[in-house]
Amino acid sequence: DVKVTQSSRYLVKRTGEKVFLECVQDMDHENMFWYRQDPGLGLRLIYFSYDVKMKEKGDIPEGYSVSREKKERFSLILESASTNQTSMYLCASSPGLAGQETQYFGPGTRLLVL
């Protein structure tokens, strides 16, 4: 079974802190994604990566950056956390062409920024 793991299920951070969310997949997938999930807004793509060291902006990249140094690991960085970044963050991975294959999601990280 494909497994996507996220470093934390719950995080509480203070405004202005630098926050790292880590995601690891064990199926050698080319593509990895970071989404945020908010009530009434569905899943919104922050960034995705189709190869090591490659990244593409999604719909809401402002305030975020990403890093993919190894194929299995994709990190989301909040440079200076703000209260409006309180949300559920979901990581996903997929093989092949980014938009045309099944995405496998991790369980999510619920981030609270105080």
Partner 1 sequence: GENVEQHPSTLSVQEGDSAVIKCTYSDSASNYFPWYKQELGKGPQLIIDIRSNVGEKKDQRIAVTLNKTAKHFSLHITETQPEDSAVYFCAASPSRGYQKVTFGTGTKLQVIP
Minimum distance from CB of 21 to partner 1 (Å)?
Answer: 14
Measured from the Cβ of residue 13, the count of other Cβ atoms closer than 10 Å reads: 16
Our finding on whether 73 is near partner 1 (CB under 8 A) is no
Closest to 17 in 3D by CA, of 83, 106, 103:
83
Q: Is 84 helix (H, G, I), strand (E, B) or coil?
A: helix
Give the residue, chosen from 12, 17, 102, 112, that forms a contact with partner 1 under the rule CB under 8 A. 102
Our finding on whether 52 is near partner 1 (CB under 8 A) is no
Question: What single DSSP character describes residue 98?
Answer: T
Our finding on whether 105 is near partner 1 (CB under 8 A) is yes
Give the residue, chosen from 24, 32, 78, 92, that forms a contact with partner 1 under the rule CB under 8 A. 92
Residues 6+ away with beta carbon under 8 Å from 92:
4, 32, 33, 35, 103, 104, 105, 106
Contacts with partner 1, residue ranges (CB under 8 A): 4, 33, 35, 40-45, 48, 50, 56, 58-59, 90, 92, 97-100, 102-103, 105-108
